[in-house]
Amino acid sequence: MSIIDTALDRTLVGYTKIGSSARGLNSEEPFPEIAGKHIMVTGATGGIGKAAAERLAANGAVVHAVGRSEDKLAALEAGADGTIIPHKADLSLMRSIVDLTDSYAEAGDPLHGLINNVGIMIHERTETEEGFELTFATNLLGQYVLTLRLLPALIASAPSRVVMVSSGGMYSQGLTVSNLQSTIGEYNGTNAYARTKRAEVVLAEEWAASLADDDVTVNSMHPGWVDTEGVKTSLPTFRRITGPFLRDASQGADTIVWLAASDEAADLSGSFVHDRQPRPTHRMKKTVEDAEKRERFMEYMASTASPWLEPSS
193 is catalytic: yes
Question: Quick one: pLDDT at residue 255?
Answer: 98
Average pLDDT, the chain: 94
Q: Which residues pair with 40 in a beta bridge?
A: 64, 114
pLDDT of 232 strictly over 70: no
CA 99, CA 88: separation in Å to the nearest integer?
10
Under DSSP, the state recorded for 133 is B
pLDDT of 231 strictly over 80: no
pLDDT of 311 strictly over 90: no
pLDDT range class, residue 139, cuts 50, 70, 90: very high
Q: For residue range 250-303, what is the model confidence (pLDDT) as tens digits?
A: 999 999 999 999 999 999 999 999 999 999 999 999 999 999 999 999 999 999
Chain centre to alpha carbon of residue 302: 19
Question: Quick one: pLDDT at residue 125?
Answer: 97
Active-site residue, selected from the candidate residues 15, 104, 171, 193: 193
pLDDT of 227 strictly over 60: yes
Under DSSP, the state recorded for 244 is G
Question: Quick one: pLDDT at residue 228?
Answer: 73
Amino acid at 69: S
Edge-to-edge order in the sheet of strand 38-42: 83-88, 62-67, 38-42, 113-116, 160-165, 216-221, 272-274, 277-278
The superfamily CATH assigns to domain 3-308 is NAD(P)-binding Rossmann-like Domain (3.40.50.720)
Strand ranges (DSSP E) for the chain?
38-42, 62-67, 83-88, 113-116, 160-165, 216-221, 272-274, 277-278
pLDDT of 174 strictly over 90: yes
Single out the residue of 281, 280, 242, 276 nearest to residue 261, CA to CA: 276
Question: Quick one: pLDDT at residue 8?
Answer: 82
Q: Residue range 149-173: average pLDDT?
A: 97
> What b/e sequence results for 256-285 when a residue is b if at least 16 CB atoms lie within 10 Å of its CB, and e otherwise?
bbbbbbbeebeebbbbbbbbbbebebeeee
- DSSP secondary structure letters along 33-44: GGTT-EEEEEST
Single out the residue of 65, 56, 64 nearest to residue 31, CA to CA: 56
Interacting residues of 92 by C-beta distance below 8 A, sequence separation 6+: 120, 128, 132, 134, 137, 138, 142
Contact (Cβ atoms closer than 8 angstroms) between residue 259 and residue 279 = no
pLDDT range class, residue 313, cuts 50, 70, 90: very low
Q: Residue range 65-88: average pLDDT?
A: 97
pLDDT of 11 strictly over 50: yes
Element (H, E) at 168: none
Q: How many residues does the chain have?
A: 313
Max Cα-Cα span within the chain: 56
CA 253, CA 175: separation in Å to the nearest integer?
26
Q: Residue range 86-102: average pLDDT?
A: 98
Provide the residue ranges of all domains of the chain, joining segments of one domain with +.
3-308
